[in-house]
């Protein structure tokens, strides 16, 4: 079975940075687009970023463009999310997911999900 494991979350002050990692196993990682989503308590799980199979194309939630950056390393079967200039509103559980088909900005288009990693930004 496919397993995705996120790491790198934690507590950071406003303006700080974090780099999240998502390690995949049990799948042909390089065959699929990968995405990051986040969910704050009581809120919708929302699209953060996605990266194409080759890594050539990257997509971001408009409000996060310029602060968040996605990348992948197929040799390590790992996708990354670099988060800069963090704000309290970035506080959420961050999930990585493996895409299958459909609109990559939509949760239902992803087949597998990690357990999530907590990111807390304090003011």
pLDDT in tens, 79-108: 999 999 999 999 999 999 999 999 999 999
The structure tokens 């969910």 sit at 39
Number of DSSP helices (H) and strands (E) in the chain, helices first: 0, 11
**Among residues 32, 38, 27, which one has the least CA distance to residue 52?**
32
Q: What is the pLDDT of residues 101-122, one digit of tens each?
A: 999 999 999 999 999 999 999 9
φ/ψ of residue 57, rounded to 5: -120, 135
Residues 38/25, Cβ–Cβ less than 8 Å: no
The structure tokens 């999310």 sit at 81
pLDDT at 31: 86
Q: What is the pLDDT of residues 17-76, one digit of tens each?
A: 999 999 999 877 778 999 999 999 999 999 999 999 999 999 999 999 999 999 999 899
């Amino acid at each position: 079975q496919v397993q995705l494991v996120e790491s790198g979350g934690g507590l950071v002050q406003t303006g700080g940075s974090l780099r999240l990692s998502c390690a995949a196993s049990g799948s042909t990682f390089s065959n699929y687009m990968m995405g990051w989503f986040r969910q704050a308590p009581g809120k919708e799980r929302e699209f953060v970023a996605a990266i194409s199979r080759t890594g050539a194309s990257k997509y971001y939630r408009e409000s996060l463009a310029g602060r968040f950056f996605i990348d992948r390393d197929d040799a390590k079967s790992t996708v990354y999310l670099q988060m800069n200039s963090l704000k309290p509103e970035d506080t959420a559980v961050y999930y990585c997911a493996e895409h299958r088909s459909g609109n990559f900005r939509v949760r239902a288009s992803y087949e597998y999900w990690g357990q999530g990693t907590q990111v807390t930004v304090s003011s």
